[in-house]
Amino acid sequence: MKFFVDTADTQEIRSLAATGLLDGVTTNPTLVAKSGRNMLDVIAEICDVVPGPVSAEVAATEYDHIMREAAVLRRIARNVTIKVPLTPDGLRACKALTSDGAMVNVTLCFSAAQAILAAKAGATFISPFVGRLDDIDHDGMELIADIVQIYSNYDNFRTEVLVASVRNPLHVTTAARLGAHVATLPPAVLRSLFNHPLTDKGLASFLADWAKTGQHIEDTKAGAATR
Ligand code: E4P
């Protein structure tokens, strides 16, 4: 399973990229607005830090305009993934862009029927928003299960399921159990995956016992080892 981080905060991205566990980044207009920076500058900086797919979302809604914005975004870096909304014009642009060799992330997916359309349009990624479905009392994970199963029925559907609007670790582990290809996580959720109280407790007790031995692990050839 690939992990993307869902943010336009380049400091967070640098720090999470250092873990070696980051496969890509997703942004959206809200996240760019939150960064307070120029979108083209932010996307360029992110693409420098993370070699995997970096989703940059168009703001246009009409086909010709989407294509013009996509051309600008594609020029930033080879790993830019054009993010388009799941609308007729968005999917038309998806088809044209992927036919031209671009990666496309189709966003704002809330039904299996929409996910089928995105796959038929050749999307690289489909982004079903699980948290926003949960918010309105629909089971976001049921949608992931449906899409994963439907896509697996057709060899010609190459679209990867990118679980979006993730709110907690349970979303991540359930998505993994269902076989989703990617999850895009807010930085706090990604960091929370490391945590377990028994890990903290176990480490504290190992370190306390080690300290009692008075030993240090060092290269004997350097002359300072304690055996
Ligand atoms: C995905 O690409 C979206 O940017 C994101 O996951 C939306 O999440 P939200 O519902 O928490 O805003």
pLDDT at 70 over 80: yes
- Asked if pLDDT for residue 227 goes beyond 90, the answer is no
Return the domain boundaries, the chain: 2-195
pLDDT digits (tens, 9 = 90+) for 169-192: 999 999 999 999 999 999 999 999
- The verdict on the CB of residue 57 being under 6 Å from ligand 1 is no
Report how far ligand 1's centroid is from the alpha carbon of 210 (Å). 44
| pLDDT at residue 155, as a whole number | 96
Separation of alpha carbons 122 and 95, rounded Å: 6
Q: Whose CA is nearest to atom 10 of ligand 1?
A: 165
Query: What is the homologous superfamily of the domain 2-195 according to CATH?
Result: Aldolase class I (3.20.20.70)
Q: Are 175 and 140 in contact (CB under 8 A)?
A: no
3-state DSSP: the chain helix, strand, coil percent, rounded to 5? Answer: 50, 15, 35
Degrees to nearest 5, angle at CA 131 with 130 and 137 = 90
Q: Which atom of ligand 1 is nearest to the CA of 167?
A: 11
What's the pLDDT tens digit per position in 144-162? 999 999 999 999 999 999 9
Q: Which residues contact 218 (CB under 8 A, 6 or more apart)?
A: 224, 225, 226
Mean pLDDT of 31-60: 98
Distance of CA 115 to CAs 32, 50, 73, 170, 201, Å? 25, 27, 24, 22, 44
Q: What is the pLDDT, as a whole number, of residue 222? A: 61
- Whole-structure pTM over 0.85, yes or no? yes
